[in-house]
Amino acid sequence: MEHVKEFWHTLLHAFRNLLPIVLVVAVFQAFVLQQAPDGMWSIAMGLGIVVLGVALFLQGLEMGVFPIGKNLSNSFARRGSLPLMLIFGFCMGFSTVIAEPALIAVAEQAQTISEGRISATVLRVIVALSVGTVVAIGIMRTVFGHPLHWYMIGGYILVVLITFFAPEEIVGLAYDSGGVTTNIVTVPLIAALGIGLASSIRGRNALTDGFGLVALAVMVPMITVQLYGILVYSFGEADPGAVANGAAMAEEFTEDEVVANGGHWVLAMLGDLLLMVRDVLPIILVIVVFQYMVLRRRIAHLPKVLTGFVMVVVGLYAFVVGLKLGLFPIGSSMAEQLIGLDGYLFVYLFAFCIGFATTMAEPALIAVGNQAQEAANGRLRGSVIRMLVALGVGIGITIGVHRIITGDSIHHYIMAGYVLVILLTALSPRYIVALAFDLGGVTTSEVTVPLVTALGIGLATHIEGRDVLIDGFGLIAFASIFPIVTVMLYAIAIELYAKFRGQSS
């Protein structure tokens, strides 16, 4: 009975996360477009499946993955073996990202649109390897007490340099891949590992040393995916079969098709479920190997943990199905309808509202904001952090939409954005740097990413002269850059105001 109550609360939690999107879309449909979207019942069913899938996924994480992950992190921190911690950090980073739902969605879209040049599987493995490496580097930084701002300044200088040479087809996708690595699976485990490690080492500060792992997990995939793009577009060839497969995967399911296809649909569903098992299997293997072969301890409450993993797999499957039925069609449909209006004012307004509303309801942001408020000892307030980040996301997505509308090169926007970030990193007070970069990584939720991706692809599809691969991706990158800017600017302003008050008194 207790688990049923917990699941009900998780279901309501997932519904609240989706509600801002539904409200924004409903307001625009009712008062701006004044028409119902095509396939409304199919979209509504898809949204319901997304809510159910997210609820099952989150409940499964709470029952199975998170307790074991946190116990393993604490055990290795107490042991104090650096090689063991580095290996564990790498494995946890890799296994959680390879199963990330938003990354799966973006990778499949990229494979279809790139005509097979970009492999969805290779893209996911590259991103997962990057994050695994980054978590290991972040652990080493915390142990040795290195200042994060040198890592971030050096890293983003490298990002900007590679962006200058990268083919334009890969730039938006590379930045989006960095933005989707830190989500419902990754953030809680990585954040817990960093903060727990900083708290257990004498002389480390939870705010300056505990945060930062998420920021590094966002940055490094941007480098590796762009390098992959340079290789692919120099030597790779298109694969028409990948386009057909991608189109089939993106095909919408309707109730009539389900009935007509009968057993074939059931077999397809079982096949997709097995693929989800394959995606989650790395997490299970990492936990089993470290729990039984390294720590040599049995897993407590094994039936509960196994039930949790089953819920993760089923929830992940439902989430992906719901995307194809609900969120992808909404983003594409709204883009087409808004472009049909006179001028682009409502396109900009919709982009800002979606970014702001969904970020304010983002659970990972709420959690990180509360942790930051505790660690900052009154210098920061969680509600102010959420408002600043939501404002940054709204501004970022609006600027990204403007780039698609005008057809400007994403190179110039991204490079200018990160030059600004590097400059602000050098000027900001040290206590805010790690937190600001982490906040840039938790702005895009499992619900927001597919909708924003579909919005960008929809705009690029329906605006004449735009290339879907070059112009369609990149909105998530803008949603990650500008929260860093708004949070750092706030911290700099607070510092300047405090100095002004000190001088005037």
Instruction: Tokens 């040795």: give the residue.
Output: 144
Phi, psi at 173, each rounded to 5°: -65, -40
- pLDDT by residue (tens digit) across 182-206? 665 566 667 666 766 776 677 776 6
Model confidence at 254, in pLDDT bands (50, 70, 90)?
very low
* Highest mean pLDDT, choosing among 243-257, 317-331, 449-463: 449-463
Rounded Cα–Cα distance for residues 320 and 307 (Å): 20
For the residues of 192-242, what is the DSSP string, one character each? Answer: HHHHHHHHHSTT--IIIIIS-HHHHHHHHHHHHHHHHHHHHHHH----HHH
Which pLDDT does position 1 carry in this prediction? Answer: 64
The pLDDT value given to residue 257:
46
Token pair 């100095």 in the structure block, residue:
499
Cα separation, 214 vs 185, in Å, equals 12
Residue 65 has pLDDT above 80, yes or no: no
Q: What single letter denotes the amino acid at residue 108? A: E
**Whether residue 70 has pLDDT greater than 70:** no
Specify the pLDDT at position 403.
93
Confidence of residue 398 (pLDDT cuts 50, 70, 90): very high
Mean pLDDT of 225-246: 69
* Spatial distance between the Cα atoms of 479 and 481, rounded to a whole number of angstroms: 6
41-50, 251-260, 290-299, 392-401: least confidently modelled range: 251-260
So what's the pLDDT on residue 253?
A: 41
CB 199 within 8 A of CB 263: no
DSSP assignment of 139-181 equals HHHHHHT--HHHHHHHHHHHHHHHHHHS-HHHHHHHHHHHHTS
**Length of the chain, in residues:** 505
Of the pLDDT bands very low, low, confident and very high (cuts 50, 70, 90), residue 259 is: very low
| CA distances, 36 to each of 33, 284, 334, 357, 459 (Å) | 8, 44, 11, 21, 19
- Name the pTM for this structure: 0.73
Q: Are 250 and 328 in contact (CB under 8 A)?
A: yes
Task: Please indicate whether residue 225 or residue 98 has the higher confidence score (pLDDT).
Answer: 225
Residue 220 pLDDT greater than 60, yes or no? yes
Q: Give the pLDDT band (50/70/90) at residue 486.
A: very high
Average pLDDT score over residue span 119-141: 89
> To 5 degrees, how large is the angle CA 220–CA 222–CA 226?
125
Q: How confident is the model at residue 239 (pLDDT cuts 50, 70, 90)?
A: low
Average pLDDT over every residue of 276-289: 77
d(CA 348, CA 264): 43
**Beta-sheet strands, E only, within 231-363:** none
The helix/strand count (H/E) of the chain reads as: 23, 0
User: Span 464-476, mean pLDDT?
Assistant: 84
User: Which domain does 127 fall in, by range?
Assistant: 2-504
Q: Is the per-residue pLDDT at 349 higher than 90? A: yes
Instruction: Give residue for tokens 């094994």.
Output: 302
Q: In the prediction, which pLDDT does 278 show?
A: 72
User: Which DSSP string do the residues of 378-396 spell out, in sequence order?
Assistant: TSS-HHHHHHHHHHHHHHH
Cα–Cα nearest to 474, from 387, 391, 405, 386 = 405
d(CA 78, CA 90): 18
Whether the CB-CB separation of 315 and 57 falls below 8 Å is answered with yes
- What integer best gives the mean pLDDT of the chain? 79
Tokens at residue 210, please? Answer: 């505990």
More confident residue, 442 or 426: 426
Whether 136 contacts 195, CB under 8 Å = no
CA distance 33 to 10: 33
Least confident of 156-160, 200-204, 220-224, 411-415: 200-204
The pLDDT value given to residue 11: 85
pLDDT on residue 370: 67
Check pLDDT > 60 for residue 373.
Answer: yes
Residue 48's pLDDT is what?
A: 87
| pLDDT on residue 144 | 82
Dist CA 292 CA 307 (whole Å):
19
Q: Return d(Cα 154, Cα 165) in angstroms, integer.
A: 17
195 in Cβ contact with 211 (< 8 Å) = yes
Q: Could you tell me which residue, 181 or 219, shows the higher pLDDT?
A: 219
Q: Is the pLDDT of residue 307 over 70?
A: yes
How high is the pLDDT of residue 62? 77
pLDDT value of residue 444? 64
The number of distinct structural domains making up the chain is 1
Q: What is the mean pLDDT of residues 357-364?
A: 70
116-128 mean pLDDT: 89
